[in-house]
Amino acid sequence: MNRAIQRTQILNGHLLSSSPSQSSSLSQKPCLNYNPPELTESYEFDLGEMRKLLDGHNLEDRDWLFGLMLQSRLFNPRERGGKVFVSPDYNQSMEQQREMTMKRIQYLAERGVFTGWLTSRGIESELRMLAFIDVLAIFDHSLSVKIGVQFFLWGGAIEFFGTKSHHDKWLRDTENYVINGCFAMSELGHGSNVRGIETVTTYDTKREEFVISTPCESAQKYWIGGAANHTTHTVVFSQLNINGRNQGVHAFIAQIRDAGNLCPNIRIADCGHKIGLNGVDNGRIWFDNVRIPRENLLNSVADVTPDGKYMSAIKDPDQRFTAFLAPLTSGRVTIASTAVYQSKIGLAIAIRYSLTRRAFSVTPNGPEVLLLDYPSHQRRLLPLLAKTYAMSFAANYLKMIYVKRTPESNKTIHVISSAFKAVLTWHNMRTLQECREACGGQGLKTENRVGHLKAEYDVQSTFEGDNNVLMQQVSKALLAQYIAARKRNKPFQGFGLEHMNRPCPVIPSQLTSSVLRSSQFQTNAFCLRERDLLNRFAAEVSQHQSKGESKENAFLLSYQLADDLGRAFSDRSIFQTFIEAEATVSDFPLKNVLGLLRSMYALICMEEEVAFLRYGYLSTNNAAAVRKEVTKLCSELRPHALGLVSSLGIPDAFLSPIAFNWVDVNSWSSVKN
């Protein structure tokens, strides 16, 4: 009751201070001014060292590319509130946005940004390329996607599926944009289910040519990035029919334009305007018995002899099909990483705004309170910031295992990239929405970026694999690992499941603050959840099979446990990357704030993920203790908020006006100028 009275008094005081009778006193008060948060906020750790930890690699290369974009009018610099900001002009038409994307690519190509992307080998070259994609995505999703299609999908398909003759013929011209390529896998009737695509390719032994055809409307290639306007060639994924026998999905090179004109027997239509990503010219392609040379089959996995004999060293059709999905792994790696950087942008803008924007007072006629000094506002943003830190470490780990890949590690990379791509893109959508709301009406303005980024990045949840499908693939892989280990009666090895070989963790009946913040307790909680869900999932699938269900149908019937398990695997894997990153730090102030962030990540996962209560890993009392500890961590992270967003590696020019002097930006003088 006392609290209700207090709240009523505060609200009454606010209303009275706004009434006409108080106008004279109000007129004596100074207007609101923007005060940079740097004047009042302090840094208790080294921002540069934190940025090194977060970006992980190629900091100088990143800064060089940021600077390169700031030098050109092509990147739409605007002066707002005494600072220069760059971002695409989304008021342009779809056609204008597409042309600007190509002009920016040409500018970057002329300055050597893409040098070595396909013709140099080695870990350093690949890391530099991945760093550049991160930076380009910070400016514009369309730009990074268009470049990603050229190098990771079209170029990656030639690199992975092709042999030396293909590499020699196509890669350098691709790197120099003599050839502009696209990746024709998705169809109107088949997206995630690549195995079911309907495009058909046959072989003509007399002319030693393949013939590609679109047999029905649902087989038209759909959402093909670059196809509508700019690309000259495409990698076509098609069923290969040899002598009446379907050999499954294979990849072919086909030319679709010559000197700007469509090639014979090619039809292309525009996919049209989208909710975002309008700088990419997505198109639809029909192949009307298009003939290509026999050599245009990308033949690292399988080949067809001049007389029409099919040959492959991989006899198992399932393994052969898996090999054809390799380029999608690089796509998932870049999607996961760029999603994290968009979350960083949203949080940097929303938190900087909340450190200067005030609302309401807690005492009659008292000063208004900074948004981030409200516990509720801290609760909205700081757990998301901790998650973003954790996911930065996860994305860095994913990039490192990708650039160090071996044939033996490909399966692990597939599983981890599928899990991280899903979780990190879901997190990005949730984060941008919360940041948009936390900025109030200012979050609606396109120039303030946050709201528009939601539309631009929404597509990440479904392209390069629908997130829900990817998570089910993760659970299926874990189940296969479980069955294999039990069948051989050998320890678990791979996917981080080695914890299954140890005794089952026990959660204390009472959780104190020190226990909740212990990395050992946090590790045990994540491992217990994953372990139990994997056991439950295996048991439920087995139970369905014992009742006569097929293996495939048993899995489908157990989809709820599959979803829970996929999330448990992802959360535990992300947490492990945080532990490993934290272990590399010796500086105490840095280690201290990382410990707070790690505890926040672990505990907010436990609070938000219903599985911890559903399956009894936490009692209701322990769940309440977790919730209380999250609130305490918010108050302890609050003094570090500015330092944490200033360490994210996003230059001021790539944020937005409300992250800085939002009063000057909206002043009458700015309207006149």
Residues recognised as catalytic: 464
Eight-state DSSP code of residue 81: T
Secondary structure of 344-406 as H, E, C letters: HHHHHHHHHHHCCCEEEECCCCCCEEEHHHCHHHHHHHHHHHHHHHHHHHHHHHHHHHHHCCC
**Cβ-Cβ contacts under 8 Å for 669 (sequence gap 6 or more):** none
Going by DSSP bridges, is the β-strand pair 200-204/233-242 parallel, antiparallel, or unpaired?
parallel
Of 428, 501, 498, 438, nearest to 467 by C-alpha is: 428
Q: Which residues are 183's β-sheet partners?
A: 235
Residue type for position 107: Y
**Helix or strand run (H / E) with residue 218:** none
Residue 76: how many other CB atoms lie within 10 Å:
18
Task: Specify whether the CB–CB gap between 126 and 641 falls below 8 A.
Answer: no
d(CA 98, CA 415): 34
86 backbone dihedrals φ, ψ, rounded to 5°: -125, 135
Of 203, 224, 162, 216, nearest to 291 by C-alpha is: 203
**Helix or strand run (H / E) with residue 184:** strand 181-184
Of 203, 226, 205, 222, nearest to 213 by C-alpha is: 203
What DSSP letter does each residue of 591-638 carry, written as one string? Answer: HHHHHHHHHHHHHHHHHH-THHHHTTSS-HHHHHHHHHHHHHHHHHHG
What contacts 24+ positions apart, CB below 8 Å, involve 58-63? 58/127, 58/128, 58/130, 58/131, 59/649, 61/128, 61/131, 61/132, 62/131, 62/132, 62/134, 62/135, 62/649
Local structure of 541: helix, strand or coil: helix
Q: Which residues are 293's β-sheet partners?
A: 209
Q: Among all chains, which residue has been given the structure tokens 């599959």?
A: 562
d(CA 222, CA 284): 5
Q: Which residues are 268's β-sheet partners?
A: 285
Residue 156 corresponds to which tokens in the numbers above? Answer: 């990656």
Residue 592: how many other CB atoms lie within 10 Å:
14
Question: Per the annotation, does 649 bind a ligand?
Answer: no
d(CA 605, CA 568): 10
Of 168, 196, 169, 201, nearest to 308 by C-alpha is: 201
> What separation in angstroms does the CA of 329 have from each of 15, 333, 427?
57, 6, 20
Residue 305 corresponds to which tokens in the numbers above? Answer: 């002899």
Pure H helices in 439-550: 450-457, 467-488, 513-516, 519-546
CB burial string 180-197: b at 16+ within 10 A, e below:
bbbbbbbbbebbbebeeb
Known binding residues for FAD: 225
Known binding residues: 225
